[in-house]
Structure 1
Amino acid sequence: MSLPTLQDGLLHWFAQNGRDLPWRKTYLPYHIWISEIMLQQTQMDRVVAYFTRWLEYFPDIAALAEAKEQEVLRLWEGLGYYSRAKNLLKTAELLCLRHGSALPEDHAALLQLPGIGRYTAGAIMSLAFNRSHPIVDANVERLFSRLFNLTVPVKEKEAHNFIWQKAAELIPEGKARYFNQALMELGALVCLPRSPRCDVCPIHAHCEAFAQGVTKERPVAGKAREIIPITMASGILQHQGKIYIQKRLPDDVWPNLWEFPGGGIHEDETPEQALVREYREETGFAIQGLKKIATITHSFTKYRVTLHCYHCRLRGNGSTPVLHAAQEFRWVTPEELENFAFPSPHRRLINRLAGEL
């Protein structure tokens, strides 16, 4: 492998083919930080829309530091992994207190901030400050598994360490910003998971898997992740023109987000019976008039949730709950639902029923 030839070929390809992305117009540290956190496990086209909206509300670190948690969670809604949004807020507050409202140009200092690990610190250092620090995402793992014809899964320790080492060694002096992006972009646009476009790859002459005709067998598959199915019921409770919502506990799944009450369905229950029981257990409310409105599926981490959704009404006149599974409650108008952060399945339900509530 001729290192200068590989570097030059990749940089030239990126200059001609790199996507026009908003954070690439500025390379501001704040923009790189926000975009990289958003890009974790989220498709690029969705992130562009979220990033653009985020900057309208929080144009800089100081504005983010002054935000309320619910504002941040609402803007993050749909990206999942809400701890990332909370860490953005915590880090912005720390940056204002300790670093003059700016991200430090120091790798070790970045690693001390909430939610910033090896990957994000490397991204900030290389993309924002053009310092020679590697970045390894899933695209780079796949690219390197082919470039170096790795015969073990990329997540195994030996392969993982090898990839990070090579990612550091390949960076040309003074060009970390563009080279690291070129690696990730090549993986995203050319070195695809199932159908690698080797015919248009600018570095296929350096690729060991291509030379041996095994690009489609790389990366080597790791152990399949077990998917755990969960079936749940949830109900939109309406009373006197308003809708009941409650705020999840701080130590629960989706902490501090708002929700429509509900829960898991026991083996001997119908979804309707489960919802009546959950409302009674969580709020003390007796409900009636259940009407099925949707079934929503949602996957997160290792779970696949099937959520049976209903309209329901109060039985009786009391509208003040006894909270057993939440920290706060509200009765809100349908229009006010936009002001609260909900888990993705509940927001999908709200959007599906737009105009009907």
Structure 2
Amino acid sequence: MAIKLRALAAKIQIENPKSLRQKLARWFRQHGRDLPWRRTHDPYAIMVSEFMLQQTQVVTVRDYYARWLERFPDFNALAAASEADVLHVWQGLGYYARARNLHRAAKQVADLHSGQLPNDLVAISALPGVGRYTAGAVATFAFDQATPIIDANIARVIARLLDLQEPIDTKRGSEILWLTAEELLPAKSGRVHNSALMELGALLCTPRAPQCPICPIREHCRTKSPESLPRKKPRPKTIALAENCAWIVNDGNLLLEQQTGSRWRGLWKLPVIGESHPRNKLLLAFDYPFTNHRVTLSVYASRVPMESRPNQQWVPLTSIDSIALAAPHRRAIKRLAASHK
């Protein structure tokens, strides 16, 4: 398979990659955005930004990034924090496994490397939650290593440069992207090159209405229909789910339930109402997305139970902001708490 892929990559390789790199770097130095994680080469700060930017837009990450570094300024500070504190600072960013993995990675760096991340791609790759992209991103942005990285923006740029008809979310399509990214690399100093590729995808080579006439590397691009690329496999059908929960308030205290499953483990939410449990007045209902699901969260007024379960706790409504809540439940609680006053 590797031989076949390299043979295919050789057929669709970019002509004159040196010229492409020079044009791209020149454009980036003139037009690259001033982002907070671009003002530092601190490996910890770079890793935090990369974890946060997974599946989250730049505009959302900015404020979280600043608050996180203020609360946990380095690997040792994060390693010493409790999971509850970590989840509370992260809440609102979603995909909480990222926060748990970042916490675990900090503990590993503190324990094995005295709080200093090694300048070694293999060591970085061994950290919890660090995949091929994140390891390469930390190596290139923190240590200026010339290593290939593929995120959504770079994948789109390369797919259009190659006029790649292979779906990029297949094994074959993904490997073509990585091989091409490797071929495009300079011999050293990959920070500017990878930043420029990423920025081109974010600012000009966008999913819709790409600005091809002002693209600095348009002469190297093969596609005639950029908006049709990159291709992906058909999306799975959306599955509808119902989540029925209870609103139980007693003397200004709200009953919450801590999650133990993998989805929202460690976070708090409103207690679940079982299928056979009687439901009273519907107080609130709205939909929210989760992977390929569309979940309808319905909150019902309920009576105070005789006793709470071990994973439940009474929390003053005035202290809700200090609790790490699942995002849809935080939204529901804030709306209902406002009407409860």
- TM-score (normalised: structure 2): 0.90
Structure 2 counterparts to residues 263-274 of structure 1, below 5 A? 263=273
Is contact 1:298-1:306 (8 Å) kept?
Answer: yes
Q: In the alignment, which residue of structure 2 is the partner of 1:191?
A: 205
- Answering whether residue 278 of structure 2 is matched by residue 276 of structure 1, we say yes
Cα displacement string for residues 33-75 of structure 1 (whole angstroms, at most 9, x for unaligned residues): 0111111111110011111111111111111011110111111
Q: In the alignment, which residue of structure 2 is the partner of 1:217?
A: 228
* CA displacement at 1:354 relative to structure 2: 5.2
- Answering whether residue 144 of structure 2 is matched by residue 137 of structure 1, we say no
After alignment, is 134-143 or 73-82 more displaced?
A: 73-82
Is contact 1:262-1:275 (8 Å) kept?
Answer: no
- Amino acid corresponding to residue 269 of structure 2 in structure 1: E
Is contact 2:86-2:103 (8 Å) kept?
Answer: yes
- Amino acid corresponding to residue 226 of structure 1 in structure 2: K
SS, match of residue 174 in structure 1: coil
Q: In the alignment, which residue of structure 2 is the partner of 1:18?
A: 32
2:252 pairs, out of 241, 248, 255, with 241
Runs of 4+ in 1 over 3 A off after TM superposition: 274-277, 290-293, 310-313, 353-357
Distance in 1 (alpha carbons) for counterparts of 2:210 and 2:277 = 48
Distance in 1 (alpha carbons) for counterparts of 2:269 and 2:63 = 24
- Answering whether residue 319 of structure 2 is matched by residue 336 of structure 1, we say yes
Q: In the alignment, which residue of structure 2 is the partner of 1:254?
A: 264
Is contact 1:258-1:342 (8 Å) kept?
Answer: yes
Q: In the alignment, which residue of structure 2 is the partner of 1:281?
A: none
Question: How many residue pairs align between the two structures?
Answer: 326
Cα displacement string for residues 246-274 of structure 1 (whole angstroms, at most 9, x for unaligned residues): 2112x35311211111257x6xxxxxxx6
Distance in 1 (alpha carbons) for counterparts of 2:266 and 2:109 = 24
- Amino acid corresponding to residue 75 of structure 2 in structure 1: I
- Amino acid corresponding to residue 49 of structure 1 in structure 2: D
* CA displacement at 1:291 relative to structure 2: 3.9
- Amino acid corresponding to residue 278 of structure 2 in structure 1: V
- Answering whether residue 240 of structure 2 is matched by residue 229 of structure 1, we say yes
Is contact 2:257-2:269 (8 Å) kept?
Answer: yes
1:118 pairs, out of 111, 126, 132, with 132
Distance in 1 (alpha carbons) for counterparts of 2:176 and 2:230 = 14
1:3 pairs, out of 17, 22, 32, with 17
- Amino acid corresponding to residue 344 of structure 1 in structure 2: A
Q: In the alignment, which residue of structure 1 is the partner of 2:64?
A: 50
Q: In the alignment, which residue of structure 2 is the partner of 1:159?
A: 173
Distance in 2 (alpha carbons) for counterparts of 1:300 and 1:65 = 29
After alignment, is 126-135 or 222-231 more displaced?
A: 222-231
- Answering whether residue 293 of structure 2 is matched by residue 303 of structure 1, we say yes
* CA displacement at 1:351 relative to structure 2: 3.1
- Amino acid corresponding to residue 285 of structure 2 in structure 1: T
Is contact 1:243-1:334 (8 Å) kept?
Answer: yes
Q: In the alignment, which residue of structure 2 is the partner of 1:287?
A: none
Q: In the alignment, which residue of structure 1 is the partner of 2:106?
A: 92
- The CA RMSD over aligned residues, in Å, is 1.8
SS, match of residue 332 in structure 1: strand
Is contact 2:161-2:220 (8 Å) kept?
Answer: yes
Distance in 1 (alpha carbons) for counterparts of 2:240 and 2:51 = 28
2:331 pairs, out of 348, 351, 356, with 348
Cα displacement string for residues 56-105 of structure 1 (whole angstroms, at most 9, x for unaligned residues): 11111111011110111111112222121111111111111110101111
SS, match of residue 226 in structure 1: coil
Cα displacement string for residues 222-264 of structure 1 (whole angstroms, at most 9, x for unaligned residues): 2222221112222221012211112112x35311211111257
Is contact 2:256-2:315 (8 Å) kept?
Answer: yes
Cα displacement string for residues 190-235 of structure 1 (whole angstroms, at most 9, x for unaligned residues): 11112211112111111000xxx22122212422222211122222
Distance in 1 (alpha carbons) for counterparts of 2:57 and 2:126 = 27
Distance in 2 (alpha carbons) for counterparts of 1:34 and 1:224 = 30
SS, match of residue 262 in structure 1: coil
* CA displacement at 1:296 relative to structure 2: 2.2
- TM-score (normalised: structure 1): 0.86
Percent identity among equivalent residues? 41
Structure 2 counterparts to residues 174-189 of structure 1, below 5 A? 174-189=188-203
After alignment, is 93-102 or 166-175 more displaced?
A: 166-175
SS, match of residue 34 in structure 2: coil
Is contact 1:155-1:222 (8 Å) kept?
Answer: yes
SS, match of residue 173 in structure 2: helix
After alignment, is 187-196 or 127-136 more displaced?
A: 187-196
Unaligned runs of 5+ in 1: 267-273, 278-289
Distance in 2 (alpha carbons) for counterparts of 1:350 and 1:143 = 42
Is contact 2:246-2:273 (8 Å) kept?
Answer: no
- Amino acid corresponding to residue 205 of structure 2 in structure 1: C
